[in-house]
A and B are shown apart, each in its own frame.
Chain A
């Protein structure tokens, strides 16, 4: 098992945001996380990545068989986790290229990845400063493409992105998740989506519904999304597992 989350209870500023969450993701699988605003989806991703402010009260997170519940963020990144942020910070004087340089990729593949995301002109710009919604998402994906993690955490990769760019982003995510490979695919993903649009580009294996900090349903992601669209989250939560 690549990621194994067991009975995870998490607090943010004294408030329980996750209540006994279980989640297993195997190599090569893509999972989708549905849920209303404030249901705990981002908290789950932030806790998996290890951000301060997300206090694990109970339960544990295993990654590649190792208990990483209390590991610092960079140790998780080194072991093969990567995340795209919904609202990443700007950092004075630090350029997109400086972040890309962390991963020591060869120049040619960086240039190709930047080109495929139409971001070449952004490499020399201060990270995230004045970027549009779509440019932020693309720059996050560019960083992930050079990092090439085994587990990819995507927080609403399509929000604030126009239709033309959604196709660009969809292709990038497909590549990240090695959707072109079948038997040899190892990279796995956990994707938060509200609009479901990303499902049109990226084939997902399993869907999960998070409501009020609890996992309430899991199943075929397309069927779940259709139910949510038609009758809402609550109806989806009543389904038979």
Chain B
């Protein structure tokens, strides 16, 4: 099982073009590519390519992007490349804004609009990565927290 996780935050002036490719070349190989991207003025290209070369391989790709500003851009480019019968490749990609429904749900619990937005952004960037050593996990959490500050 291969997992590629990226968490990308682009503020004004930054240009990120990041992604990963997984070639599934052994029977029963599995992969998951996940990216969470937020643009606040910067531009992001989030790429992901899954190539299935043997029957019975299974892989999924998820790109979610949040646009928090009228400037900047997010381009999600998911690619699936099946080369034999019996591969199972799938993707879901979405670029959008924070949903009003989610904000109001949290406001009904007493959070202000700003606090609700902050909680949603924090959740969005909180990707649970399986199998990382504790020290690396802590470092990632710290970096995500730093990035949050630039957004709110």
Contact = CB atoms under 8 A, between A and B. Distances in A.
A95 B125 CA distance: 13
Interface in A95-114: 95, 98-99, 102-103
Contacts of B127: 93
B110 interface: yes
B107 to A, nearest CB: 4
Nearest to A88: B105
B74 to A, nearest CB: 16
A49 interface: yes
Contact of A143 (B109, B111, B124): B109
Interface stretch (A59-67, A71-79, A177-185): A71-79
A147 B110 contact: yes
A98 B119 contact: yes
Given A92-B123, A92-B124, A94-B119, A73 B108 contact: yes
A226 interface: no
Interface residues of B, number: 25
A72 B102 CA distance: 15
Given A51-B104, A52-B104, A73-B104, A93 B124 contact: yes
B110 A102 contact: yes
Contact-size category for A: 20 to 34
B105 A74 contact: no
B109 A72 contact: no
- Main secondary structure on B side of the interface with A: helix
A99 B122 contact: no
B64 to A, nearest CB: 7
Interface of B: 36, 64, 99-102, 104-113, 116, 119-120, 122-127
Interface of A: 49, 51-52, 72-74, 77-78, 82-83, 85, 88-89, 91-95, 98-99, 102-103, 143, 147
30 contacts: A52-B100, A72-B107, A72-B112, A72-B113, A73-B104, A74-B107, A74-B110, A74-B113, A77-B108, A78-B110, A82-B108, A83-B108, A88-B105, A89-B101, A89-B102, A91-B105, A91-B106, A91-B119, A92-B120, A92-B123, A92-B124, A93-B122, A93-B123, A94-B119, A94-B122, A94-B123, A95-B123, A99-B106, A102-B111, A147-B110
